[in-house]
Structure 1
Amino acid sequence: MLKRLAAAGSLALVVTLMTAPTSSAAKAPADPGTIPGVDEIVSSPNLKQVAHLDKSGALTATNTDWAFQGKYAYGGNYNGFYVYDISKPKEPKVAAQVLCPGSQNDISVTGHLLFLGTDSQRTNDTCDNAASTADVPGDRWEGIKIFDISDPLTPKYLKSVKTDCGSHTQTLVPGKRGDKNVYLYVSSYNLAGADQPNCALPHDKISIVKVPVRNPAAATVDSAPVVFPDGGFPGAPGKTPTTGCHDITVYAEKDIAAGACMGDGVLFDISNRAKPKVITTVRDEVNFAFWHSATFNNSGNKIVFTDELGGGGAATCNADIGPNRGADAIYDIVGKGKKAKLAFRSYYKIPRYNADTEVCVAHNGSLIPVPGRDIMVQAWYLGGISVWDFTDSRKPKEIAFWERGPLSLDQLTGGGSWSAYWYNGYIYSNDITKGVDVLELKDIRTAIAKHFRADTFNAQTQDNFLRW
């Protein structure tokens, strides 16, 4: 929950690099409950690190989310984004860096376009900007930047779109048949409890940016539907009130979306892309603190919601917190159409304790394409990476893990995997402080996944992998 550049035709600073990968050997701990030493890598026998790249060049700030296309991976960073050549997954290379500062810098890609979401007030909308604290509200900027990546090694900045409260996350939504546009569902929120420049309360909405694919310079905010006309969850001790959404995942083929909206979980009908409608909402006032992200299973009849307990800045994977708080929650979608409801089935949390100095939180993950099974890989900050099976919604279980030990045993320290996604046979982890880790999963239960290939992958834009 790390809270929160665009004159048309301007060119971002691009640095082309070729960096040799490094890797570390992993070993399985004798006792899975034993906390590894500082920077020590441990794993289950079936999940191994095959490559690592340190941060480099100008992008030494916080690493964030991923998007993939062809042989390139695009990695967000608070200073801009990386372009990685992953044509040889065991030998990844930094192909280019784009310097464009702004918090989050959440990424989506489609065709020749890359979208970068900024969730911090900046002095202007170019990539030559600074954090803004003194400018009058109307002169401050945050929102979406659009780049042309026809040549992935020289991304060109095309256009900016300012959005209320900026863009903490943004979700690419393909247009329906005959629609020549793509849409961005922009999630943002206000935790201050009072009006802020660029972010007035009540902020119970999302912003929808409409992007004509053939003329992206004409992109604009098409609508800003109010998701919570009643104000949403009002909050409670240790529970965040709803003032917007943190993340939305769409399953366009099925015309549905799942929203993780601070104090509420939401199921949307997106048959009209510009006018999503709430089908049903759900709350967990016992264990959930902050609804953070959502993942459908491939059949589209389950949703995994994550809880960002501690806001991504606390040690929440220890005995004091326990197995149900700061966990994933698995819901079955019961019923169809407007009568659909979300039925809670179980919690899942990594079955290992972390040190009290490790920031650990349920974070971003994706499905692993295994027909007939519901298996996903997920990042847990310094809790590492977990591969787990939720085919039986009531009995989820871990089948593989990999983690790097604490960064410090003396003081609470943030770091670890922000996003861990499966892409074309490998798991790619964007480590907040360390760089990039590439992992290989060798398990008979997931072996078939190696045969599935996607041309483009945005984790929050789910496709039916049986059609890849």
Structure 2
Amino acid sequence: MLETSPRRYRRAAVSLAAAGALVLTAVVAAPASGFTDSAEGTDVCDSFLGAGDNFAEYCITEEAVNDSAATYAIPGVDEISSSPNIELIANIPKFGGFASEAAYNSDLAFQGNYVIAGNYQGFSVFDVSTPSSPQVVSQVVCPGSQGDPSIFGDLLFLAVDAPRSDDSCSSASGSAAQETSWEGVRIFDISDKANPQYIKSVRTDCGSHTLTLAPDKAGTDVYVYVQSYGPSNGAFYCKPPHDKISIIKVPLDNPTSAAVVATPVLFPGTTGNTSTSGCHDITTYPELDLAAGACMGDGVLMDISDRENPVIISQVRDTNFAFWHSATFNNAGTKVIFTDELGGGSGAICTSSYRTNQGANAIYDIVGSGADRELVFKSYYKIPRLNTTLENCVAHNGSLIPAMGRDIMVQAWYQGGISVIDFTDSANPVEIAYWERGPLSDTRRILGGAWSTYYHNGYIYSNDIQKGFDVLKLDDPRTNNARAVAFDELNVQTQPSYPACTTVITNRVNGGLDVKSGVTCLDGASVNGATKVAPGAGLLIFNSNLNGSITATDAAVVSIVESKVNGSVNAPGATVRDTKVNGSVKI
């Protein structure tokens, strides 16, 4: 019998807890869009004004575009180019109140078989029970960029970073100079996905460009970290200095009492017009009490053990980074990928005019322990393909793929498409798959492409600014085993852990298997004999054959996916999916 007993094991949670019940206090209205399509002949940078992001501020003018390098041979308009291991299996074009060119699709959040897709005009709910045929469940028109969503149980939090005349879904565009204007966070009850209810709003200084959840350890409250920037002396609620974030506390037994409880200053001494006048995005890793902040001119690592008082423990700058945009931990919490949104998302940064370390990812190792941890730079990564000067392209939002024994990420690059990278060796990241559409137009620049691209329970979901909601399937031996892991709920910026393989078996094992500690992962393996999992240990089985019984009592995790078991399974709490079991099953 093969025994597996590594020296260390950190127990990992596979799903997040659900929130409590809600009391409804408001109903969603559905006004028409206030945006207008950009027209040919309009200055491209002017057309981005009012978009709510930094598109216009960092826009590269048509004159500069025309002076850049000649266009390279890439897919034509609406043509698709990809590696052979990834394919598009479904697309739902923008529709209803989001059909306008200026109604930009934004971020994604997941719960079970549902996907919440944000838009500058509100959000849509899709049922992806059959990923190749997603169904529209509902659409809520409630204008206010960017419309980034996060889910916790029955609660949906939606970011609004544009002054509105009031907090209602029927509001009009407002002025930041007016005391009566509103921007911040909207809270919805989504217990009925077909009929979401607007129940609460919370105003925050400078609005909410993005937001990130940080559940407390007691399970009674969820905190919302609100990131915003761009202070102005003329703004009523957004005056410099703005070197802080806002923290909203949401009691789960009374979410309508949600309120700002802290506004910690992360960068004391700044003037409000420096590169650290706020953060663009923060990713929390609640299980490790860590957060990584992409704060305009800085990348930071924070201790969030006190949810209301995050403390910076490491801070880095990079002269090659123009705008620190987002952050992703690896599962072990020993690495962070930061992204640089050079050009503000509207620039054509994937041309020969820009270096491979501009508008790219920067990969950092986290070294040391406790308050002495530091971010140590290891490498850059940028997609290796060139785009035309009519395509906005730069590093944007992505997520981990929970592959066994590897650090792999899928990522959106706007019109640069989708890239899958293996950064297990943080000094030498490698692209293992890509998928992209050709430009939206061969005559004018249109803001478009993949805004957020995330992996969830076996498939890749991407929200394209113009083309709509995409579902893709990645078929690669390095990532297929990720289907052994499933999340009940996923907000990518609130990073969950998944079982970390301490032993990976890919060959034949005779005499059975005895898992005494750690997590043993089987990928394409064959086990002849009984398999036993000790209390506290874990077992992930994917695409494998087991000729013998499986017994697990008080195991940390047992997951059997796309496999065959010739024997009984006695593993309370186990997940058995798409598996043939020739014997009794007790789970």
**TM-score normalized by structure 2?**
0.72
Secondary structure of residue in 1 paired with 2:179: helix
Q: Matches of residues 203-282 of structure 1 in structure 2 within 5 Å?
A: 203-231=242-270, 241-282=275-316
Amino acid aligned to 1:373:
R
Q: State the shift of 1:231 in Å.
A: 1.8
Note closer, same or farther for the CA distance 1:456–1:115 as it changes in structure 2 (3 Å cut).
same
1:67-110 per-residue CA deviation (whole Å, 9 max, x = no partner) reads 00011100001111000011110000111001100010110001
Instruction: Return the index of the structure with the highest Cα Rg.
Output: 2
Q: Matches of residues 269-308 of structure 1 in structure 2 within 5 Å?
A: 269-285=303-319, 287-308=320-341
Check the 8 A contact 1:318/1:356 in 2, yes or no.
yes
Q: 2:449 aligns with which of 408, 411, 416?
A: 416
In structure 2, runs of 5+ residues without a counterpart are 1-22, 32-71, 500-556, 560-587
1:315-371 per-residue CA deviation (whole Å, 9 max, x = no partner) reads 000111021111000000011111011100000000100001100011000000012
Distance in 2 (CA, whole Å) between partners of 1:188 and 1:14 is 26
Distance in 2 (CA, whole Å) between partners of 1:401 and 1:234 is 38
Secondary structure of residue in 2 paired with 1:284: coil
Match in the other structure for 1:73: 115
Q: Matches of residues 182-197 of structure 1 in structure 2 within 5 Å?
A: 182-190=222-230, 194-197=233-236
Q: Matches of residues 77-156 of structure 1 in structure 2 within 5 Å?
A: 77-133=119-175, 137-156=178-197
Check the 8 A contact 1:366/1:421 in 2, yes or no.
yes
Q: State the shift of 1:197 in Å.
A: 3.0
Q: State the shift of 1:8 in Å.
A: 7.2
Note closer, same or farther for the CA distance 1:39–1:451 as it changes in structure 2 (3 Å cut).
same
Distance in 1 (CA, whole Å) between partners of 2:230 and 2:141 is 27
1:217-262 per-residue CA deviation (whole Å, 9 max, x = no partner) reads 0000010000001328975xxxxx1210000000100000000000
Secondary structure of residue in 2 paired with 1:137: coil
1:275-315 per-residue CA deviation (whole Å, 9 max, x = no partner) reads 11111100002x10000000000000000000000001110
Note closer, same or farther for the CA distance 1:136–1:389 as it changes in structure 2 (3 Å cut).
closer
Check the 8 A contact 2:111/2:489 in 1, yes or no.
yes
Amino acid aligned to 2:77:
V
RMSD over aligned Cα atoms = 1.7
Secondary structure of residue in 2 paired with 1:338: helix
Check the 8 A contact 2:450/2:462 in 1, yes or no.
yes
- 1:407 paired to 2:446: no
Secondary structure of residue in 1 paired with 2:150: strand
Check the 8 A contact 1:233/1:264 in 2, yes or no.
no
Distance in 1 (CA, whole Å) between partners of 2:24 and 2:159 is 17
Identity over the aligned pairs, expressed in percent? 57
Distance in 2 (CA, whole Å) between partners of 1:465 and 1:318 is 37
Secondary structure of residue in 2 paired with 1:209: strand
Please say which of residues 408-417 and 326-335 is displaced more in the overlay. 408-417
Match in the other structure for 2:546: none
Secondary structure of residue in 1 paired with 2:98: coil
Q: Matches of residues 357-396 of structure 1 in structure 2 within 5 Å?
A: 357-396=390-429
Note closer, same or farther for the CA distance 1:214–1:106 as it changes in structure 2 (3 Å cut).
same
Amino acid aligned to 1:116:
L
Q: 2:466 aligns with which of 433, 449, 454?
A: 433
Distance in 2 (CA, whole Å) between partners of 1:232 and 1:333 is 29
Distance in 2 (CA, whole Å) between partners of 1:367 and 1:342 is 19
Note closer, same or farther for the CA distance 1:179–1:51 as it changes in structure 2 (3 Å cut).
closer
Aligned residue-pair number: 436
Distance in 1 (CA, whole Å) between partners of 2:74 and 2:234 is 43
Distance in 2 (CA, whole Å) between partners of 1:195 and 1:354 is 39
Check the 8 A contact 2:177/2:234 in 1, yes or no.
no
Match in the other structure for 2:98: 59
Distance in 2 (CA, whole Å) between partners of 1:412 and 1:151 is 39
Distance in 2 (CA, whole Å) between partners of 1:92 and 1:452 is 21
Match in the other structure for 2:365: 332
Match in the other structure for 1:172: 213
Check the 8 A contact 1:14/1:155 in 2, yes or no.
no
Distance in 2 (CA, whole Å) between partners of 1:394 and 1:190 is 34
Match in the other structure for 1:23: none
**TM-score normalized by structure 1?**
0.91
1:115-143 per-residue CA deviation (whole Å, 9 max, x = no partner) reads 0110000000111111013x862200000
Q: State the shift of 1:465 in Å.
A: 1.5
Check the 8 A contact 2:242/2:272 in 1, yes or no.
no
Check the 8 A contact 1:250/1:461 in 2, yes or no.
yes
Check the 8 A contact 1:426/1:440 in 2, yes or no.
yes
Please say which of residues 405-414 and 117-126 is displaced more in the overlay. 405-414
Secondary structure of residue in 2 paired with 1:310: helix
In structure 1, runs of 5+ residues without a counterpart are 1-6, 16-32, 236-240
Match in the other structure for 1:47: 86
Distance in 2 (CA, whole Å) between partners of 1:265 and 1:234 is 17
Amino acid aligned to 2:25:
G
Check the 8 A contact 2:248/2:258 in 1, yes or no.
yes
Note closer, same or farther for the CA distance 1:232–1:262 as it changes in structure 2 (3 Å cut).
farther
Distance in 2 (CA, whole Å) between partners of 1:119 and 1:173 is 20
Check the 8 A contact 1:168/1:246 in 2, yes or no.
yes
Match in the other structure for 2:202: 161
- 1:344 paired to 2:383: no
Match in the other structure for 1:29: none
Check the 8 A contact 1:184/1:210 in 2, yes or no.
yes
Q: State the shift of 1:57 in Å.
A: 1.0
Check the 8 A contact 1:363/1:381 in 2, yes or no.
yes
